[in-house]
Chains A and B, each alone.
Chain A
Amino acid sequence: MNKVITINLNGNAYQVEERGYQLLCEYLDGAETQLKDNPDRAEIISDLEQAIADKCRNFLGPQKTIVTTSEIEQIIQAMGPVDSEGGEAGGSPEQDTSTPDEINWIVQGGNYGFGHSAGHRDMLLGIDFLAVKPEALLRNRLAEAGLSPGHSILIPSASHRLLGRGENFLRRVEIRKSLRQQDRSLIEGITRDGADHGFLKIVEPVGGVSFHG
């Protein structure tokens, strides 16, 4: 029995095994990094996602509704490493050293939050992360950080969806660095990073907030 995650690739929902989802995140993260100086990054990522979606569709049928990890590996293999300028700079995408837990936490807590619906286009990777038990996950994170349910996580406002993908990516990198640098016990709270875009950010130290999970 494997956990399955529903993702949205360019407007279509696909059910992917959890490890496959992580591999896809790593691939697209690597692509984002590789294309960080490319002015057409957002469009290229969107094209890549569409290509991934097309390949996912090839693995599905009336009796098969899940894309397995092994199939995702094949898809990533077929996509190939992302060149920064296509044919000019080879090499594989930069490897993400975050743990899967960190990735999940960052994606779900740092970018996505609770309120979302199928078919909505997320601006992080162009993927919607649907129904991945975010509440339980965030509660666990709060517990690890020494917070009780009496503490607070402010959910990203709808306006964060207007953000460009690249901008969110940089924010996420920022959070990732923060996670690496800090002892988790020092993470005493989470707050929204500015009212204008609703992105969550770890701050230290914060107290007296309440959990709205």
Chain B
Amino acid sequence: MSIDGKLGPIRKGLLEFLILKIISADKVYVADMLKLLSTTEFATQEGTLYPLLSKMRRENLVDYEWRESESGPPRKYYKLTAKGKSQLAELNQYWKLINTTISELGN
């Protein structure tokens, strides 16, 4: 299996973490998220993002509110719930732990 094939599932697994991070900074709508991710290793598309956001909303990690838009129909702006903030904090902590572990092993 190629390196990319091995890293693909990791990227997928981390996407939810990154979405939590993006939304934690500000209320954002999907186009904002896609744009922010587009220049990273985690570039994704609507076909992936909408079902993921829907799942995260079902898990009460995010919620959204409708806002009028000057350039089209109203848009859903996503925000973190209390549970989402708590999960993000846990994930951040775990990510630091993983980083430390990886850094310390084998050197």
Given contacts A10-B73, A51-B30, contact A87 B52 (CB under 8 A): yes
B65 at the interface (CB under 8 A from A): no
B58 at the interface (CB under 8 A from A): yes
Q: How far does the alpha carbon of A84 sit from the alpha carbon of B54 in the complex, in Å?
A: 10
**A40 lies within 8 A of B47 (CB):** no
Which A residues are closer than 8 A to B by beta carbons? Answer: 10-12, 31, 35, 38-40, 43-44, 47-48, 50-51, 53-54, 57, 78-88, 90
Interface of A is mostly: loop
**B47 lies within 8 A of A81 (CB):** yes
Given contacts A84-B51, A87-B48, contact A54 B58 (CB under 8 A): no
Using CB atoms, name the residue of chain B closest to A80: B45
**B58 lies within 8 A of A39 (CB):** yes
Chain B 30-48 interface 0/1 with A at a Cβ cutoff of 8 Å (1 = within):
1100000000000011111
**A47 lies within 8 A of B73 (CB):** no
**A79 lies within 8 A of B47 (CB):** yes
Q: Find B52's partner among A12, A78, A86 (CB 8 Å cutoff).
A: A86
**A86 lies within 8 A of B13 (CB):** no
**A87 lies within 8 A of B73 (CB):** no
Residues from chain A with Cβ under 8 Å of B51 in the complex: 35, 38, 40, 44, 82-87
Q: How far does the alpha carbon of A88 sit from the alpha carbon of B30 in the complex, in Å?
A: 18
**B16 lies within 8 A of A87 (CB):** yes
**B73 lies within 8 A of A50 (CB):** yes
Q: Find A86's partner among B31, B49, B72 (CB 8 Å cutoff).
A: B49
14 A/B residue pairs, CB under 8 Å, sorted by A: A35-B51, A43-B54, A44-B50, A47-B76, A51-B50, A53-B73, A80-B44, A83-B52, A85-B55, A86-B50, A87-B12, A87-B13, A87-B16, A88-B52
Q: Find B12's partner among A47, A81, A90 (CB 8 Å cutoff).
A: A90
**A82 lies within 8 A of B55 (CB):** no
Residues from chain B with Cβ under 8 Å of A81 in the complex: 45, 47-48
**B48 lies within 8 A of A86 (CB):** yes
Q: How far does the alpha carbon of A31 sit from the alpha carbon of B48 in the complex, in Å?
A: 11
Q: How far does the alpha carbon of A80 sit from the alpha carbon of B49 in the complex, in Å?
A: 10
Q: How far does the alpha carbon of A147 sit from the alpha carbon of B12 in the complex, in Å?
A: 53
Q: How far does the alpha carbon of A56 sit from the alpha carbon of B104 in the complex, in Å?
A: 50
Residues from chain B with Cβ under 8 Å of A54 in the complex: 31, 72
B window 53-70: CB within 8 A of A = 53-55, 57-58
Q: How far does the alpha carbon of A51 sit from the alpha carbon of B31 in the complex, in Å?
A: 9
**A83 lies within 8 A of B47 (CB):** yes
Residues from chain B with Cβ under 8 Å of A90 in the complex: 12
